[in-house]
Structure formats: structure tokens, C-alpha cells
Amino acid sequence: FRVLHQIGAGTCGPVFRAMAPDGDTPVAIKLITTPQAPERARRAADRLAALAEAAPRLPGWVAPLEAGLYAAQPYLVTTFAPGDALDVALRQFGPA
């Protein structure tokens, strides 16, 4: 994946916009930076990978695509969904 830039910060760590290896598909990469022992990080990455493998690919849904470890930190790659962050939308439109 080719990381383009950071697009946000989730509750577990930063979120990056990237391009898939095919060069045409935008993806989001969520890096989980919460402190954890190396064996827990590996288990988390394995569970995320199993989720990505089993997840259905439905039009319009953010789907997990791949997972692994980067610098001993688990990450999850998902399809990219353009749009405003929830906090921005709530400020602009108010609660539903």
C-alpha cells in the first residue's frame, strides 16, 4: 500500500488514506497504537486478518480487506469511504 496522508485519529490510533497495490483503489489504513504486549498485538492482527478474510464485500459498505503488523502494531486496511467525519457532520447538521 502507498500511504498518501493521515486523515484522522481514531480511538485506537491514526487513520491514513492510501492506495492499494493496483494503484487505482483508495483504501483506509487504521493503525492500532494502544499499548499492548507483543503477543497480544500478534493475536489482534491475526483476528483482524480473519475478519478481513471472512467479511462480505457489499456495495456501499466499508469492508475490511487486509490486516497485519507494522512495527509491532496491528493495522487494518478497509475500503475507503469519502465524506466528513462524524463530529464535523454533527456540528454542521446536528443530531439525527
pLDDT digits (tens, 9 = 90+) for 7-30: 988 889 999 999 999 988 999 999
Q: Which residues pair with 75 in a beta bridge?
A: 31, 68
What is the percent of the chain where pLDDT is above 70?
100
Q: Tell me the three cell numbers of residue 12.
A: 485506537
Q: Which pLDDT value is given to residue 11?
A: 86
